[in-house]
Amino acid sequence: MSQNQATELKKLQKIWYARLKKKGFEDIERNETELKVYSENIIKNAARGRKNINHEIWCQSKTEYFRMAEHFLNENKFENKILKYIWDLHSQGVSARNISKKLKSLKIKKDKTTVHRIVQNLAKQMFEKYGVSSRG
């Protein structure tokens, strides 16, 4: 990504964070590793517009994330084919659990926790590559 593209991406991010704040968005995360309140259903609640999270904005943010993930898939040099395959599935919205099942069918042993950690690490690399903060 060129410097100009990174600058444009940062401008776009600033605009979206301002829109989120204006609409009353409340971040569910305390920092990169902790939720303010733990809940297995927090994303489901967010998708339904609960917990002061605007459903439309949440969906737009999710769409932008997966669009960025697809670009990362096509532009990044992955360490190996397995990591690229995992990211490819993730960028299509496949859950860690289902990615793990697909890998198992290919005789590749990666449990859902391992897949989740791989995805988190690759997402961090993606945010760094594109100069985007992973947090609001």
Q: What is the pLDDT of residues 86-113, one digit of tens each?
A: 999 999 999 999 999 999 999 999 999 9
Query: Shortest CA distance to 136 belongs to which of 11, 30, 39, 9?
Result: 30
- pTM to 2 decimal places: 0.59
Lowest mean pLDDT among 4-8, 24-28, 34-38, 66-70: 34-38
User: Do 20 and 57 contact (CB within 8 A), yes or no?
Assistant: yes
